[in-house]
């Protein structure tokens, strides 16, 4: 049985009180979530050498407010990832969006929104609204994010949104994982259950081409160290300064959630498996993290964390062959992702 404890986490510049919610089980596994952006601030995994915090983050609300680029731990939307040219056309009308990534739109404002929170079962339910026109999107949207601590050291995140007008939607959590608990992640191992990935242009928006990973440094199907080929003279890696690509998940037929990733640390013995209902997973290797102080004033560093952002494909409205991201008025969009943590030999060997 999980317990939920709430504690104050400061006040925003707008005068909004921020609360942190600590979900924990009797075995010492815990997850701390803020009502500011549904940010996952800590994931504490009990390991042989002691508890390890396996996500990057900050110690104060001011640091989260000042961070407008990395989205550490945040729930992002209305549209996770990029929309090229910061505009889209739907039902014959063109909608201009906020340009917050060069000429493109990236992620949106949910990471800076205060959510209403209430305990539900072994977790919490976080709810908010997004008024028509926010970030440029049509329709009044209702958002619900449920975080549940499962008995086997797992965190399940369920998303549910509705809107009173047709609108695109793409949601994800933007946690940066480091299973060593510090340093860079280049020596940590990763397997992706994905035989294809989306090619990107120089602005990191997709070109529309879905390419096989086989025979390229993009291939994680057998598992390898994250840094093994990250500096290879491969154009896609050179464009991004590392990995920043959406992988097409090899979905298990009939499964509600399919495994999409397995990561592990030889240093701590911690492994993590990721399961999702979504069609893609964005692997990002912290290529643009800088020396901004993180937790305990320890500077963040390039490749200091990796993201596994379960989501629909970026810029889907530009490519009819991509899975649709259009939520029709009065309909419900649902998605879920589970992070399951193991220590020692519980998970097998990657």
Span 17-33, average pLDDT: 97
Q: What percentage of the chain reaches a pLDDT higher than 90?
A: 94
Return the ∠ at Cα 179 (arms to 174 and 181), rounded to 5°. 100
DSSP letter (8 states) at residue 169: -
Asked whether the predicted pLDDT for residue 132 surpasses 70, the reply is yes
CATH 2.70.98.10 applies to domain 3-343: yes
Is residue 253 very low, low, confident or very high in pLDDT (cuts 50, 70, 90)? low
Burial grade of 330 (CB within 10 A; 0-12, 13-18, 19 or more): exposed
pLDDT, residue 159, reads 98
CA distances from 205 to 94, 129, 242 (A): 19, 28, 15
Contacts of 72 (CB under 8 A, 6+ apart): 39, 55, 56, 57, 58, 64, 174, 175, 176, 294
Q: Which pLDDT value is given to residue 39?
A: 98
| pLDDT score, position 82 | 98
Mean pLDDT, residues 191-212 taken together = 98
The confidence score (pLDDT) of residue 290 equals: 85
Question: Is a pLDDT exceeding 80 seen at residue 9?
Answer: yes
The mean pLDDT value for 319-325 works out to: 96
Res. 344: pLDDT tops 80: no
* Domain spans of the chain, in order of start: 3-343
In this prediction, residues 111-139 reach a mean pLDDT of: 97
pLDDT grade, residue 134 (50/70/90)? very high
Residue 329 DSSP SS3: coil
Concatenate the DSSP letters of all residues of 202-249 into one string. TTS-EEEEEEE-TTSTT--TT-EETTSSTTSS-HHHHHHTS-EEEEE-
Closest CA to 177 of 45, 313, 343: 45
What is the distance between the alpha carbons of residues 226 and 243, in angstroms, rounded to a whole number?
9
Q: What was the pLDDT predicted at 61?
A: 98
pLDDT at 254: 64
Residues sharing a CB contact under 8 Å with residue 327, sequence separation 6 or more, in sequence order: 161, 162, 163, 166, 167, 168, 169, 333
Active-site choice (105, 107, 134, 309)? 309
Q: What is the pLDDT of residues 277-312, one digit of tens each?
A: 999 999 999 999 988 899 999 999 999 999 999 999
* Mean pLDDT for the chain overall: 96
Structure tokens at 181: 């608990």
Catalytic residue list contains 309? yes
Q: In this predicted structure, what is the pLDDT of residue 350?
A: 82
Contacts 24+ apart (CB under 8 A), 12-19: 12/36, 12/61, 12/65, 12/114, 13/62, 13/65, 16/114, 18/61, 18/114, 19/117
Q: What is the pLDDT of residue 182?
A: 96
Tens digits of per-residue pLDDT, 44-80?
999 999 999 999 999 999 999 999 899 999 999 999 9
In whole angstroms, what is the distance from residue 311 CA to residue 323 CA? 11
Instruction: Grade residue 236 by pLDDT with cuts at 50, 70 and 90.
Output: very high
Catalytic entry in 107, 174, 303, 312: 174
- Predicted TM-score (pTM) of the model is 0.97
Task: Say whether pLDDT at 257 is over 80.
Answer: yes
Residues 143-190: tens digit of each pLDDT: 999 999 998 999 999 999 999 999 999 999 999 999 999 999 999 999
Mean pLDDT of 6-13: 98
DSSP codes joined into one string, 262-300: EEE-TTT-EEEEEEESSSEEEEE--TT--S-B-GGGPBP
Other C-beta atoms closer than 10 Å to the C-beta of 114 total 18
Cα atoms in the 13 Å half-sphere on the side-chain side of 139: 20
Q: Please report the pLDDT score of residue 94 as a whole number.
A: 98
- Active site includes 303? no
- Of 330, 324, 337, the residue nearest 169 (C-alpha): 324
pLDDT band, very low/low/confident/very high, at 249 (cuts 50, 70, 90): very high
Q: According to the model, what pLDDT value does residue 256 have?
A: 85
Of 349 and 220, the one with more pLDDT: 220
Question: SS3 helix, strand, coil % of the chain, rounded to 5?
Answer: 10, 45, 50
* Residue 15 φ then ψ, to 5°: 90, 15
- Please give the angle made by the CA atoms of 157, 179 and 52, to the nearest 5 degrees: 90
Preceding omega of 199 cis (within 30 degrees of 0): no
């Amino acid at each position: 049985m999980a317990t939920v404890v709430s504690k104050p986490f400061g006040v925003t510049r707008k005068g909004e009180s921020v609360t942190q919610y600590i979900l924990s089980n009797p075995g010492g596994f815990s997850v701390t979530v803020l009502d500011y952006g549904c940010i996952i601030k800590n994931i504490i995994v009990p390991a042989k050498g002691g508890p390890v915090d396996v996500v990057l983050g900050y110690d104060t609300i001011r640091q989260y407010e000042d961070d407008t680029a990395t989205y550490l731990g945040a729930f992002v939307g209305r549209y996770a990832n990029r929309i090229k040219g910061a505009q889209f056309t739907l039902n014959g009308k063109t909608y201009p969006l906020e340009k917050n990534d060069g000429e493109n739109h990236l992620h949106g404002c949910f990471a800076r929104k205060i959510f209403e929170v209430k305990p539900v079962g072994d977790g919490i339910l976080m709810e908010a609204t997004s008024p028509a026109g926010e970030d440029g999107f049509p329709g009044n949207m209702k958002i619900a994010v449920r975080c549940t601590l499962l008995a086997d050291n797992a965190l399940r995140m369920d998303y549910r949104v509705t809107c009173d007008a047709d609108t695109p939607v793409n949601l994800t959590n933007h946690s940066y994982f480091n299973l060593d608990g510090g340093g860079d992640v280049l020596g940590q191992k990763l397997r992706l259950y994905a035989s294809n990935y989306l090619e990107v242009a120089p602005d990191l928006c997709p070109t529309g081409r879905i390419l096989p990973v086989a025979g390229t440094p993009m291939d994680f199907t057998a598992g390898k160290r994250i840094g093994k080929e990250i500096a290879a003279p491969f154009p896609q890696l050179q464009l991004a300064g590392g990995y920043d690509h959406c992988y097409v998940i090899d979905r298990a037929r009939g499964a509600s959630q399919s495994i999409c990733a397995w990561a592990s640390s030889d240093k701590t013995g911690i492994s993590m498996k990721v399961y999702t209902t979504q069609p893609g997973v964005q692997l990002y290797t912290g290529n643009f993290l800088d020396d901004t102080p993180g937790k305990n004033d320890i500077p963040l560093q390039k490749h200091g964390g990796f993201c596994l952002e379960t989501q629909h494909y970026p810029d889907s409205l530009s490519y009819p062959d991509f899975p649709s991201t259009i939520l029709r008025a009065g309909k419900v969009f649902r998605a879920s992702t589970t992070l399951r943590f193991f220590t020692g030999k519980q998970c097998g060997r990657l």
